[in-house]
Amino acid sequence: MKTKWWQKSVIYQIYPRSFQDSNGDGVGDLQGIISRLDYLQELGIGAIWLSPVYKSPMDDNGYDISDYCDIAPEFGTVADMEEMIAEAKKRDIRIVMDLVVNHSSDEHAWFVEARKSKDNPYRDYYIWRDEPNNLISGFTGNWPGSAWTKDESSGQYYLHLFSKKQPDLNWDNPKVHKEVHDLMNFWLDKGVGGFRMDVIDMIGKVIDDELITNGPKLHDYLQEMNAATFGEKARPGFEALTVGETWSATPEIAELYSSPERNELSMVFQFEHIVAMWKEGQKYKGNQLNVPKLKEVFAKWQQLEKGWNSLFWNNHDLPRVVSAFGNDNKYRVQSAKALAILLHLLKGTPYIYEGEELGMTNFPFTDMSQFNDIEARTAAEDLRKAGVAEAEIVPMIRQVSRDNARTPMQWDSSDNAGFTTGKPWLAVNPNYKEINAAVNLQENDSVFHTYQKLIQLRKENDWVVLGDFELLNSAPNVFAYLRKFENKQYLITVNLSDDEQEFKSDFEFGKLLIHNYETENFAETSGSTFKMQPWEAFAVELL
Ligand code: GLC
Ligand code: CA
């Protein structure tokens, strides 16, 4: 198979609300993004995954869409979007839109019509029952809350697997498929490079069996979508980047989505390495890096043969990686770089979430009033109802809240970190004077420059893209692996702890490719046992 552009590229996720404000209203926007494209070009990324910018009442910050062919006024206009696509293209950057079609907003015209009466032509775009079943919903404030809300005028219940302002679309209705294909083609015709597909594993659900993910028709729907919109059949030679959000995927399932001959998606986001770090398997217990487990999970996923992996630590739903898995205090810079080196030299397409390349950290939340996210607010309500003491709630939510990722991008040390001249919609992290893009760009050994170098390594070396992966035996907190390509071997070794670790190897080291510590006499570590500093990480060619 010919290598695709998205196998050699790194993708950068922008949360538009938080990236750059251009007009002082405190909310990031498309013109703000345009003004920062040079920065992204300097980083070296090949595409932007843009979280939703469509028209939306913003119940879930844009993951509740009321018009798929329009832009939310706070973000700009369709003309701004066109300008952004064109400006990005000049810099060899593609725009990947977020496709949220498991559900719409309850303010979408389809739902406004649908709820008018049982025989409205749009009624069947959504899912109605006379009696609710046991399906539960996220974001209800009443966990485990019912996924059904009664529509008073007809007396029937509609399904919403997320908030009640996010009614689920009825994928049993072929008209819904046609609408979705049309809206995808609307944006593809404007030059969009692909889609990130929100909770796409849910669109094949079988309501009456209470089966939500991996329903029997899911893959048929994706093949049909591929043929009608972004795939080879609809747009020969186009090479769309499509990535599905699939919390439920196993490696076998990921191959169904991403084997090229099945004509579905380029790849999926799997979350096993994220969930495996939740204490006692529960999100609100917080994160704890468990390196042996991490090695096991990654090694398993690296064996994907027919499909293709995505690689990520962060997105808009997750706490900052340097706080969750690294050490955001004493070893902030070293651990941010170590985590980057570990991830970016694996096989797959890496994703960077805005600010990750600066080593941005979680926010020091002290009070519930500082949270914006519907999930955080409803989780607090749920915990209260479950009898958790008030004083324990903020500490629980603080470490995992999605708002950690959503605080404004830290550009420089001016007011509001250069994000806005107005009042930011969500507070800027107080550490912005030390942690920001300007400082990172100035310092040669910054986190930014490590990411930049990793992106460059991938562009210039086929082994990074195509080499086989082999996990090496090492101390529990050392993650060491080989990549093998055309009779050559490359060693990547990362100390994922605050302590010195021993690394024992018989390898003869060749050229040093990347290292997160200043090192003299690196070659002396060849063929021996040596000490690795806390969070030390390097990649080296082997002789
Ligand atoms: C996905 C999104 C998340 C959103 C949810 C509902 O998980 O990543 O932000 O809240 O879907 O659309
Ligand atoms: Ca704005």
Strands (DSSP E) found in 200-280: 241-245, 267-269
Whether residue 356 sits in one domain with residue 274: yes
The reply to whether omega before 476 is within 30° of 0 (cis) is: no
In a domain, 458, yes or no: no
Q: Indicate whether 339 and 325 sit together in one domain.
A: yes
DSSP symbols for 302-334:
HT--SS-BEE-S--TTS--HHHHTS-SSTTHHH
Q: Distance between CA 12 and CA 14 in Å, rounded? A: 7
CATH code, 142: 3.90.400.10
Pick the last residue of a domain from 397, 425, 453.
453
Flag whether 429 is in a domain.
yes
pLDDT per residue as tens digits for the range 316-339: 999 999 999 999 999 999 999 999
Residue 462 covered by a domain: no
Give the pLDDT of residue 524: 76
Same domain (yes/no): 276, 211: yes
DSSP string across 6-36: HHH--EEEE-HHHH--SSSSSS--HHHHHHT
Taking only the tens place, the pLDDT of each residue in 187-233 is 999 999 999 999 999 999 999 999 999 999 999 999 999 999 999 99
Number of independent structural domains in the chain: 3
CA of 403 to the centre of ligand 1 (A): 13
In a shared domain, residues 471 and 449:
no
Q: Taking residues 345-350, report their average pLDDT.
A: 98
Here the tokens at position 191 are 């030059």
Which of 421, 453, 485 finishes a domain? 453
The domain that holds 198 is classified in CATH as 3.20.20.80
Domain containing residue 472:
467-542
Q: Which of 68, 98, 196, 199 to mutate to test the pocket of ligand 1 (most atoms within 8 A of CB)?
A: 199
Selected catalytic residue, list 64, 106, 168, 198: 198
172 in contact with ligand 1, CB cutoff 6 A: no
Decide if pLDDT at 181 tops 60: yes
Residue 144 in this model has a pLDDT that exceeds 70: no
Indicate the average pLDDT of the chain.
Answer: 96
Same domain, 285 and 419: yes
Residue 401 pLDDT: 94
Ligand 1 centroid – CA 195 distance (Å): 14
* pLDDT tier at 1, thresholds 50, 70, 90: low
496 — pLDDT class (breaks 50, 70, 90): very high
Asked if the structure places residue 168 within a domain, the reply is no
Residue where a domain terminates, one of 394, 429, 453: 453
On whether residue 169 sits in a domain, the answer given is no
79 and 178 together in one domain: yes
Can you give the CATH number for the domain in which 521 is found?
2.60.40.1180
Q: Clarify whether residues 227 and 313 are in a common domain.
A: yes
Write the pLDDT tens digit of every residue in 7-55. Answer: 999 999 999 999 999 999 999 999 999 999 999 999 999 999 999 999 9
Please tell me whether residues 483 and 400 are part of one structural domain.
no
Does the residue 166 lie in any domain? no
The 10s digit of each residue's pLDDT in 419-442 is 999 999 999 999 999 999 999 999
Do 38 and 96 lie in one domain? The reply is yes
Q: Do 519 and 383 belong together in one domain? A: no
Dist. CA 315 → ligand 1 center (Å): 11
* Assigned domain for 459 exists: no
Same domain, 69 and 148: no
- The residue whose two tokens read 């989780």 is 379
Residues 401 and 307 in one domain: yes
Atom of ligand 1 nearest to the CA of 162: 6
Cβ-proximal residues to 237 (8 Å cutoff; 6+ apart), any chain: none
Catalytic residue, from 64, 74, 151, 245: name it. 245
Contact 474, 495 (CB under 8 A): no
User: 382 φ, ψ to 5°?
Assistant: -60, -45
Q: Known catalytic residue: 245?
A: yes
The preferred substitution site among 317, 373, 402 for testing ligand 1, maximizing ligand atoms within 8 Å of CB, is 317
Residue 215 lies in a domain: yes
